[in-house]
Amino acid sequence: MKKEQIRVGPATDQDDKDAHCQSLSLLPLSLALFIGQFGYLLLTIVGPTKNELGAAFTHGTAMSLVEFEYFYGLMFTFYGFPNFFMPFVAGALIDHIGASKVLVACSMLNVVAGLLQCIGIAFLQQHIVLFGRLLLGFGNESLLVAVVALLGEILPINKISVMQGVLCAGIFIAIASGSLLAVPVLQMGGSHGLCVFMGTAALVQLFGNLQVWWQSKCVRAAEKQMVRSNVDCDEMIQLLESHESEPRNEEHSSQKAVSRGRAIYAALVFCSSANTICVWNLNMILCPLVLETWPSAVGESAVVAEERAGAWSFVFMMVPALLSPIIGAAVGALGCPGVFILWSQCVQAVGLVIFSLAAYHVYLSVFSGPLLPLLLISASNPLIAPLLFQCIALTMPSKHCAKAFGLMTVIQNIVMGLWPLLVAHLRVISESYQSGTIAFASVGLIGLIGWCLIFVLDQPSLGGSNTLCKRTAYFDELIARRKKGI
């Protein structure tokens, strides 16, 4: 089956532009993308309800507290296991059969997974719960790869970053909603109320993703009625090289471009993994750090410190949820995704350094503890996560984009899973969570160095096209020249 090419640059024919606007309205697509991420609510909902689930399973079955602790840990293990390979498998399937089929299949798999978890919790069947968590692990991360790849197939590149910002906002808000609402729902409605809540979330994400699929069908139906007015990423990169470089041997140039693209991709994977550690694992030490150091530092009670830690964790998740669509729109309008990411990496590194200093009570009175650096770190994430696929599309052949993004996601998940072991080891050695903040700051600085390396690799002096620093207007002009035969 022929795979649709990733579209780059807005249409320049007014008729084609009107047809495209009629076929795809960005507001319904934004809403569909947003609610389509509610599968992540199914992931986080079991975390805050540990005590309630423990009481239900230990009183309703012959399970001891120790056995429940193993069972509770297995719920996250079963979910996490497919994340170590499934995104890459999904990417390979997408490159062969298209993103829309994988999107629908994974979304339906999430519904089955949610239903199994509901049955297992309602009837206290731990094996059914674990099987549901396993299926959710197969579906959730693969769904992310599929929807990102589908956006690349149906949208021009200046709209991809906007929609990926909405996508990231949906993920963050779904995670925060699951953490905030799980306990109140369980207390008011019991296990049956929790099951209804989980089932509703599963159906909502299915509805949203089916809407995304329907929007993609409308775009492809409209494209059959008009002349193709955009160029794909492969053609665009060739245009850049022919426009900015001196004539050279075509075969040698192609080999150098492939090698350079692979090197940039490897650096992108390295930097994105560092960002994943800093964003998703930082909450792991945030609450223990505040509870361990804050009361003695400022004379607050442990209860107040716990409330403060919870509030900061909520802020840490909500800031990127609010900023992601805004940053995506800015990059879509201006271009230069690499510049945005480099600046965000600088902000993140500064925030991590201040956070490590605050953990050792340096400048504690000035920065009010970790709050300011946490705002810097959380504000930097929306400048990175929504732009990663766009950077891959600008550096890798379009036929390998989904696979490349899936492999990046797998590596991120592996690193994110192994990093807590390192922090725990540092905690045992130093007998304090403060040492873990130094490790986070080091990762932030290493990520900054990696992004600098990407800019070096893409410099024209080394045969690159400086693609990640180009403005949207530049691509528009280049494509217009291509259409006119200049």
pLDDT digits (tens, 9 = 90+) for 176-219: 888 788 888 888 888 888 899 999 999 999 999 999 999 888 87
> And the tokens for 250?
């075509």
Paired strand residues for 7: 232
Q: Cβ atoms within 10 A of the Cβ of 121, count?
A: 24
Assess if CATH 1.20.1250.20 describes domain 251-483: yes
Under DSSP, the state recorded for 471 is B
pLDDT of amino acid 286: 61
Rg (CA), the chain: 23
Three-state DSSP class for residue 299: coil
- For the domain 25-223, what is the CATH code? 1.20.1250.20
- pLDDT surpassing 60 at residue 401: yes
Alpha-carbon distance 141 to 316, whole Å?
22
Q: Which of 59-73, 124-138, 333-347 has the lowest mean pLDDT?
A: 333-347
Tell me, what's the pLDDT at 412?
85
pLDDT, mean of residues 237-245: 48
Which range has the worst mean pLDDT, 66-80, 323-337, 460-474? 460-474
pLDDT band at residue 11, thresholds of 50, 70 and 90? very low
CB atoms inside a 10 Å sphere around CB 250: 10
Asked if the domains 25-223 and 251-483 are classified in one and the same CATH topology, the answer is yes
Q: Which of 54-68, 94-108, 436-450 has the lowest mean pLDDT?
A: 436-450
* pLDDT at residue 391, as a whole number: 79
Domain ranges of the chain: 25-223, 251-483
Going by C-beta distance under 8 Å and a sequence separation of 6 or more, which residues neighbour residue 278?
Answer: 348, 352, 377, 440, 443, 444, 447
Q: Residue 19 — very low, low, confident or very high, per pLDDT cuts 50/70/90? A: very low
Spatial separation of the C-alpha atoms in residues 386 and 152, rounded to whole Å: 12
pTM: 0.78
Q: What is the mean pLDDT of residues 290-306?
A: 59
Judged by average pLDDT, the poorest of 73-87, 239-253, 271-285, 340-354 is: 239-253
How many helical (H) and strand (E) elements, i.e. helices and strands, does the chain have?
20, 2
